Structure 1
Amino acid sequence: MPRELAPDTADALRQLLGPDGLLLDAAERLAYGYDNSRRQGLPLAVALPTSAQQVQAIVRLCREARMPIVARGRGTNTTGASVPGEDALVVSFERMNRVLDIRPGDRVAVVEPGLLNGDLQAALAPHGLFWPPDPTSAGFCSIGGNLACNAGGPRAVKYGATRDNVLALVAVTGTGELVRFGAGTTKGASGYDLSRLLIGSEGTLALVVEATLRLTPVAPRRRALRALYADVESAAAAVARLMAQPVTPSMLEFMDGDCVRLAREVGGAELPPAGALLMIEADGDDAVLDAAVAALSAAAAGPGCLGVASAPDEAAREKLWAARKALSPALRTLAPGKINEDVVVPVSRIPDLVAAVRRAAAEQQLAIVSFGHAGNGNLHVNILYDPADDAQTARAGAALEAVFDAVIALGGQVSGEHGIGLVKRDLLVRSLTPPTVAMMRAIKSQFDPDGILNPGKVLPPA
């Protein structure tokens, strides 16, 4: 028989949240049971709090009932981090979606976790400000989700990922205590920086109920460059050159030959055939932009470069970036199944990573398509195969292991921006030393002594 929420717990949650703040119907619960990892679970119930005080009370009720809690934004993550077990309560933050304050003079915004990234950007635009994290799902992912996995995006190469753009957090621990870390200042030397610890913890340490975000002025002008290469090795070498010279691009994206073809045939981008492509962008004012573009163009040119061209107008630039964002779903036209990983290595080791990916593709006789945020050393490696073919499935798994082995050997990490969740938790342990893992477990026990916050995610059971 399906599990049900204990009547006394259900009554207490109804009294706390109101009649429409607790979802018990199986059809409603199902909508909160999956994320973009294609994994699925059916939670016991879904709570929809509207305040930090309600979140505290929920955690205390669940701690008393020994019931796991899975915090949820909009479910756009790809690692199973927000997939609940059948004994869990999902706490969805969709009703805590307000902009609490915008202080242009401080370059600060204070927001609730359920606010959509796109809605925040729209609220900031009249002030000439933006929040740098811009994942592909920016239009419909939540700030809380960005915090949970330390989301990045193309602009991270110059402006940093989520962790670099948060000043303070208010959160509820696994004991129901309300804690405040950081302050709305851009400098601080007052104790441990626990805000950065919570960012990327995927709801396993505390539930964030308020965030003070560091904002950046919108550059007055930007200009896009398109550099084409004969092969991926030449493009990878150009990435290392671009990041070694003084001018930091505001975006630096890599696409291999298959991606170039898909961007043309599926995305509608006007691109000639090429073995690889770099999309480079500079931003700034008139006084510096011409010199920046000249420096970036010179660094992009080199062995294997077929040409560097400036996007003729904003429409052409937008079309190229739209084609880049459409790449992930477009890969389904090449094969019915794909394994999408977001590995990251030091930028100088990008050529070595690209070479390792090509070796894995040749050894396993599978197509492996790569694109991503090359300026951060963060590539999305997509292994394409037919899940109905057992032999292909086995070869895809072997290719994935080879890629991860190469990433770890190159001093990289198994996730650059998607997080660990369920999918990569064993890999995380493989890439860290035992004392490091033990320290992470000790930190988890301090924040969540009963282990009720998103159990089984990030760190595997001891």
Structure 2
Amino acid sequence: MKLPTSLLDILHATFGAQACSTHEAERLAYAYDNSRRHALPDAVVFAQAHAQVETLVRACREHGVPVIARGRGTNTTGATVPVQGGVVVSFERMNRILRIDPDNRLAVVEPGVLNGDLQRALAPHGFFWPPDPTSSPWCSIGGNLACNAAGPRTVKYGSPRENTLGLRAVAGTGDGFRCGTYTSKGATGYDFTRLLIGSEGTLALITEATLKLTPKPSGLRTLRATYRDVTSAAHAVARIMAQPVTPCALEFIDDVALQLAHDHGGDSVPLAGAMLMIEVDGEPATLPSSVDAISRAAHGDGLETLHVAQSAEETQALWSARKALSPAQRTISPNKINEDVVVPVSRLPELVHGIRQLSRQHDVLIVTFGHAGNGNLHVNLLPRDEAEHERAHACLADVFALVIALQGTLSGEHGIGLVKREFMPLALEPSTLGLMRNVKSAFDPDGILNPGKLLP
């Protein structure tokens, strides 16, 4: 659409010439995300203050123009692709850490702060923010909150929903509001904070976040266990998670992934039926007993090797297989389909077995790895030609059906976005979806915030 002159005048007056653009080159740069889907916005603005966002949303609502919030575009579901045009508001320049308060275990940040930058700022204070997606060096806190993106440490420390105390935001009406608390306990009204987290910019635009911090453990041990087959490894995950010591990371890698990583990374990557990467943290005095407890749980039918790293260099070597996976997959299929399904941990063996059957049934290469301690596996379909690409989409529908049958859910941390909208009725009853639409209408009565996403 061509934006009305009156709206463009407001955008230029609000953001200034250096933070508002309708040039095609700038619009192209904000037309896509890591899903490889793209659609051209009509304008791009760069927010630097809460008041600017209020003005933007009010003006766009008056003219019926979509508003799409964007962090760094690292999401894989098309959640920031402006499918109906409109204005993309980038928060990359709204990147200040406003307050670090160790006494109250909190930090107040703007949405454009990078996850990795925040972690480095917190380290001298002896704290960290637990969500740590693989993309932490370049993904933003706002994007983490929008998708509830977490990473390996979620198994022990929780996702953004468990690690965010409060938010400042702007609803689709243009009204700014605050929700949540500066305290670790609160029971005052509805929990809008957890509601907004994971809503993918469809309810409100987050302009500030109060984050709950966690003291950084002084000790860490890394274990690597290899197994005869994926089922043995999946059973080991269930045993590990059923005993009292909770690992801070528990990653599963199947045999297909190991072969790919070995081909790409060399002999430092072991070949096995499956592998678990396990990390345990805590104070040095308690770590040996924790490692022993995890090791006992890892033992069982199918275990081939179990090794505990004794140095930082050895730890890096043990993680080599996991780190080699992404570049290895790109060599096989530049158009990989990456989904992050979740099932109850006790159902992991059934999920892994079922995915293996679907791979054979549809004749599509599937690589499976991920955050097994949460039952959150990344299912990567790797079509190598057009025929396989068609089969992969049919296979994906069956993967989702399997996950729901195992009492699981469609996404653990990537979100729904554009890619998984059509599958939402598999996961949620019509009455539930109806209530979600009512919530959407309350926050965004004219449907201008990130239209075409999340809800089918």
- TM-score past 0.5 threshold: yes
Q: Aligned letter for 1:34?
A: Y
Tell me, in whole angstroms, the C-alpha distance in 1 between the residues paired with 2:320 and 2:102.
30
| 1:107 positional shift | 0.9
Q: Aligned letter for 2:83?
A: G
Tell me, in whole angstroms, the C-alpha distance in 1 between the residues paired with 2:60 and 2:232.
55
Q: Aligned match of 1:202 in 196, 200, 224?
A: 200
Q: Aligned match of 1:410 in 379, 403, 406?
A: 406
- In the alignment, which residue of structure 2 is the partner of 1:310? 308
Q: Residue 129 of structure 2 contacts residue 213 of structure 2 at CA under 8 Å; is this kept in 1?
A: yes
In structure 2, runs of 5+ residues without a counterpart are: none
Which runs of structure 2 are paired with 1:145-294 in the superposition (5 Å)? Answer: 145-268=143-266, 270-294=268-292
| 1:334 positional shift | 2.9
Q: Deviations over 1:432-452 (max 9, x none)?
A: 100000000000000000100
What SS does structure 2 have at the residue aligned with 1:247?
coil
- In the alignment, which residue of structure 1 is the partner of 2:57? 59
Tell me, in whole angstroms, the C-alpha distance in 2 between the residues paired with 1:269 and 1:17.
54
Q: Residue 27 of structure 2 contacts residue 43 of structure 2 at CA under 8 Å; is this kept in 1?
A: yes
Q: Aligned letter for 2:58?
A: R
Q: Aligned match of 2:396 in 373, 394, 400?
A: 400
Range 6-15 or range 434-443, more displaced: 6-15
Which runs of structure 2 are paired with 1:112-127 in the superposition (5 Å)? Answer: 112-127=110-125
- In the alignment, which residue of structure 2 is the partner of 1:438? 434
Which runs of structure 2 are paired with 1:19-168 in the superposition (5 Å)? Answer: 19-168=17-166
- In the alignment, which residue of structure 2 is the partner of 1:342? 340
Tell me, in whole angstroms, the C-alpha distance in 1 between the residues paired with 2:188 and 2:422.
35
Tell me, in whole angstroms, the C-alpha distance in 1 between the residues paired with 2:317 and 2:145.
29
Q: Aligned letter for 1:406?
A: L
Q: Aligned letter for 2:274?
A: A
Tell me, in whole angstroms, the C-alpha distance in 1 between the residues paired with 2:343 and 2:134.
21
Q: Residue 136 of structure 1 contacts residue 325 of structure 1 at CA under 8 Å; is this kept in 2?
A: no
Tell me, in whole angstroms, the C-alpha distance in 1 between the residues paired with 2:88 and 2:266.
40
Tell me, in whole angstroms, the C-alpha distance in 1 between the residues paired with 2:361 and 2:334.
21
Q: Aligned letter for 1:435?
A: S
What SS does structure 2 have at the residue aligned with 1:234?
helix
| 1:6 positional shift | 1.8
| 1:235 positional shift | 0.2
- In the alignment, which residue of structure 1 is the partner of 2:378? 380
Give the aligned CA root-mean-square deviation in angstroms. Answer: 1.3
- In the alignment, which residue of structure 2 is the partner of 1:320? 318
| 1:269 positional shift | 6.7
Tell me, in whole angstroms, the C-alpha distance in 2 between the residues paired with 1:137 and 1:213.
19
Tell me, in whole angstroms, the C-alpha distance in 2 between the residues paired with 1:195 and 1:393.
39
Q: Deviations over 1:146-186 (max 9, x none)?
A: 00000010111000111110000010000111111111111
What SS does structure 2 have at the residue aligned with 1:132?
coil
Q: Deviations over 1:306-331 (max 9, x none)?
A: 02110231112123335413412321
Tell me, in whole angstroms, the C-alpha distance in 1 between the residues paired with 2:269 and 2:64.
57
| 1:257 positional shift | 1.1
In structure 1, runs of 5+ residues without a counterpart are: none
Q: Aligned letter for 2:162?
A: D
TM-score by length of 1: 0.96
- In the alignment, which residue of structure 1 is the partner of 2:453? 457
Tell me, in whole angstroms, the C-alpha distance in 2 between the residues paired with 1:312 and 1:413.
37
Range 95-104 or range 186-195, more displaced: 186-195
| 1:28 positional shift | 0.8
Q: Deviations over 1:42-95 (max 9, x none)?
A: 100011111000100000000111100000000000000000035310011111
Tell me, in whole angstroms, the C-alpha distance in 2 between the residues paired with 1:60 and 1:411.
41
Q: Aligned letter for 2:269?
A: L
| 1:281 positional shift | 0.7
What SS does structure 1 have at the residue aligned with 2:224?
strand
TM-score by length of 2: 0.98
- Residues 343 and 107 of structure 1: CA distance in aligned 2, closer, same or farther (over 3 Å): same
Tell me, in whole angstroms, the C-alpha distance in 2 between the residues paired with 1:128 and 1:365.
50
